[in-house]
């Protein structure tokens, strides 16, 4: 497996380690948001990332928050209070 590419996200409060070409990404706390979720819910996954090749089309299909850059990709969350912090969409630019 290749060495991961790492980038932070203020929106998610996490650093993402992406293994290029593998479809695998891991996140770790990088600020208060994810740290607080881990403290509240424990070590199981606190968020899920859904991949898309076309974030603009995904945004047209469902209500998503404004995207931000995360490495070479864009990431956004669902614009709904029950989903906003734990279900995100990542556009894979590769």
pLDDT in tens, 32-56: 777 787 788 777 665 677 788 898 9
| Overall average pLDDT of the 53-64 stretch | 88
Domain hosting residue 54, numbered range: 5-91
pLDDT value of position 69? 85
Cα of first residue to Cα of last residue in the chain, in angstroms, is 17
Residue 65 DSSP code: P
Whether the per-residue pLDDT at 83 is higher than 80: the answer is no
Domains: count for the chain: 1
Q: Give 8-39 pLDDT, tens digit per residue.
A: 877 667 787 877 776 677 778 787 777 787 78
Q: What distance in Å separates the CA atoms of residue 11 and residue 32, rounded to the nearest whole number?
A: 11
């Amino acid at each position: 497996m290749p060495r991961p590419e790492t980038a932070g996200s203020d929106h998610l409060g996490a650093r993402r380690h992406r293994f290029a070409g593998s479809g695998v990404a891991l996140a770790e706390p990088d600020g208060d948001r994810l740290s607080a979720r881990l403290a509240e819910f424990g070590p199981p996954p606190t968020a899920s990332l859904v991949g898309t090749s076309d974030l603009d089309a995904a945004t047209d299909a469902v209500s998503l928050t404004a995207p931000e850059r995360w490495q070479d990709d864009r990431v956004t969350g669902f614009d709904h209070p029950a989903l906003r912090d734990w279900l995100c969409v990542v556009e894979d630019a590769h």
